[in-house]
Amino acid sequence: MADSKAIKPDVFQSFSDIDKRPVSEKRAELDPNDVLLSSLSNHGGWKVLNEYIDFLKSEMDALIAAAIANGNSFEDVGRLTVVANLAKEKLYAIQKRVQDARDVGQQAGE
């Protein structure tokens, strides 16, 4: 009999599908938000925020490692891993969005 507590393969699908368009479709031309984000990418504050996002992602990995070291159940470690990976994907998406805008801005300026 299947365990009803198991995480279903598609339970997090809506999170993963939020923005799956290829970069070329998302950033085909410069819009006002791209201009703002492109200028943000050149700001010193973006470097600080970008490093903080990387720190948060590494902290999530450390939490998973700690859960394993503490002998948490496979179910708990698996659940924590899924949630952490989804969160890291979204943090990466923020970084990628600013990088894409910077790249489009640089291409438009050429």
Tokens of 85: 């990976």
Q: What percentage of residues in the chain have a pLDDT greater than 70?
A: 71
* pLDDT for 35: 87
Say how far residue 60 (Cα) sits from the centre of its chain: 12
Please, what's the b/e burial string for 68-107 (b: 16 or more CB within 10 A of its CB; e: otherwise)? eeeeeeeeebeebbeebbeebeebeeebebbbbbbebbee
pLDDT in the model for residue 33: 87
Flag whether pLDDT at 99 surpasses 60.
Answer: yes
pLDDT tens by residue, 45-90 = 999 999 999 999 999 999 999 999 999 999 999 999 999 999 999 9
- Residue owning tokens 């198991």: 6
Task: Give the pLDDT score at 104.
Answer: 87
Alpha helices in 32-73 (DSSP H): 32-41, 44-69
Spell out the residues 6+ positions from residue 87 whose beta carbon is closer than 8 angstroms to its own: 60
The model's pTM: 0.70
